[in-house]
Amino acid sequence: MMLLLALLVSVQLTCRALTATSGIPHSNSLQHGVQGVAFRSGMPSLWSSRRIAQNDRRTCHPSRPRIGEQTIFTHMTLSDHVSHNSLTTSSDARTSPRSLNSTTTIANTTFRIPTATHLTTISSYQIQHPLTSDQTFCISSHLCRHSHPQSFGFHPAGSKLSSGLFRLSCPLLVQAIDEWENRGGVREMNDWLLHKDIRTRNNTSEEYNVDWKKTAYRDANEMQRKIRQELLVGPEDRARLVDKLGEYNAQRFMESGVAGMPPQGMDVKCIHAHVADHLCRVSSNTSTSDSASALDDILYGDSGNLIGRRALQILHQKGISILGNDECCQQCNGSEGWEYVPRKNRRGLKSTRMRRKELRNENVAPLDGAS
């Protein structure tokens, strides 16, 4: 008996020494923010502790637990961004929380990755629809003056299929563009796009690049196609598309441009989509939160979407504060005051509430004596 007790004490001391060496706390309670370690029946498994310590030192990733073992999860939460297929990020998504400046590269373009706070702001206060990390692969390159995202990238093969890659979420810009489109904004942008602005070289009469706007429009649609195809590199994604849409429509889905436009089209169709695309793809020439520098990037930079940039220039000339005003933050902060919900969103929210009410009524138990 004494030998057996001595052996148990020796094993326990060895386990504690191993966990101390690998920096893993010796605890059998689930703790948030601690590297993964396996437990069974309240005592660490000697083999699994050694295996985890070795794997963590070699790969910096938590090891997968065996069946029947509990896991202490890393501080990366489910609401943090989930990388998709070929996305390469500047920080490791599996071992660290998203910082405010985490980026990913898709189709040779740098995108800003949302944090959990950004996703909450977009889903709860801006679009007021559920939005999960698997649906979102980026947000606007610059945040507004109140540090909120203004648009986001909608993953084409997330939990809901969407041909529109980028969506405008800033309530102030959505309102301004809604009102502009109601007054003929799309027609105005199409007139500008199809009008031949002749450029001259060095103040001479030599004409060049007459179709520069049409070329920029085609480039924007081609970039959408490249991004979509790079995001959907997995065979399971392609199979899901074919299953949902059929072979022909799945191919058209893959080749579509801004707002789902076919490659041969020449129609702005949706100003919101072009502005959202521009805000997500415009290069950030400053690492600071300087609103003046951000506005200069957005309105006069060479990157992004030309149609979206032109639309924002027009709104700026109309007196719209592109990066936010003194009141618009009330909606994005979740406080009472200024708020704008698009009409189609109001209809959607109303129908959702009605469906939920019907489901509740259906689930109510019948009264005594009722059949």
Mean pLDDT score, 291-306: 92
How many percent of the chain have pLDDT more than 90? Answer: 42
pLDDT for 216 equals 93
pLDDT tens digits, one per residue of 220-275:
999 999 999 899 888 888 888 888 889 999 889 999 999 888 878 899 999 999 99
Sign of the four-CA dihedral 10, 12, 13, 19 = positive
pLDDT tens digits, one per residue of 100-112:
678 999 999 999 9
- Residue 198: pLDDT over 90: no
Kindly report which listed range (21-35, 126-140, 199-213, 346-360) carries the lowest average pLDDT score: 21-35
Indicate the average pLDDT of the chain: 74
Higher pLDDT, 181 or 67: 181
How many percent of the chain have pLDDT more than 70? Answer: 61
- Overall pTM surpassing 0.85 (yes/no): no
Predicted confidence band of residue 196 (pLDDT cuts 50, 70, 90): confident
